[in-house]
Structure 1
């Protein structure tokens, strides 16, 4: 289709005539250079830009509404059915969840600490030193489940001849010191055997 531009309005050539001039008439003729003027281009492009922006705005609104509906399905308590109230309720709910997570983490740390302490109390600290045929033995353990009977039973299995024995308790911790004659045994053998028997 040929391009056109607007000519200036035509006026009457007679200056003496009292007849009023006709209204301006826009005559459309092809442009000689075949180009579209800037004003014509703006008239064509502007509506397209506005229409595109409107579509993008509608699309964003739809996506935003979907996100709000998703948020509404997650938040347990909603005070009012408007976006501002929903966002406020969501922030409060997130803060509650953070507080619960901190409480659970703190409780878990306390449980782990208690478990480690219990394991340390259950585990026996055994020291053995050999002087010739005599073993000097010290056992440190919790004062529960008759630790002295377990140690005496273990030494009896080794056919050790007890020369000296003392026992004392401090803050629920028992200390047992023995001197026993165990011919033919090494320090590592006695210590390994007592660990096996007492830490069951």
Structure 2
């Protein structure tokens, strides 16, 4: 009985290596690189990475552009409380606005109509009136300050230089402010000098004191003059008004 043995494998042809050794080395290197990149032990990731490298290197297309940034209002930070829907937020905003309009309605004294547009117009007009009033009061305060300074200077001068003349001419001036009115009652007693009422009227005119009532009489050689005059804001003090009148009487006499 005879057994047949398998024939040994035939060796690879030696012509390829002998004819071009450089070509054989490059083929072996390329084979090793390909087999290393496509190692089946790495699983599917190896095959996919190899395919991506080949496709990316061979296509030559630019990488995709990044997505554009979103414009507009960014959402605010979330609170720990329950979220409010848009309808509920709008309702709260309207309630708050209505409360503000009610407060504005209570602050404005006169309102032409009971709508929001008329209320805003009346509020703007009222604010303009208040601003004008403030400017007027500031101007009056400045005038009063200037008048007070002038009266103080005049009082010092009159007290210093007019004391002797008062004793010689027996001049007596009484000033009394009228309660509740911006007016003052004056009584000037002088000797029977010439044109005593004219001197008093000139002094009142120089101080811009409007005369409401005036009376002149002569008793026992003395001239008595009574007058009620309107007093501006800067002279509503009995001492200041008396000093200013004495100074003006000295200049006119």
Tell me which structure has the larger Cα radius of gyration.
2
TM-score, structure 1 length as denominator?
Answer: 0.40
Q: Which has the higher helix share?
A: 2
TM-score, structure 2 length as denominator?
Answer: 0.32
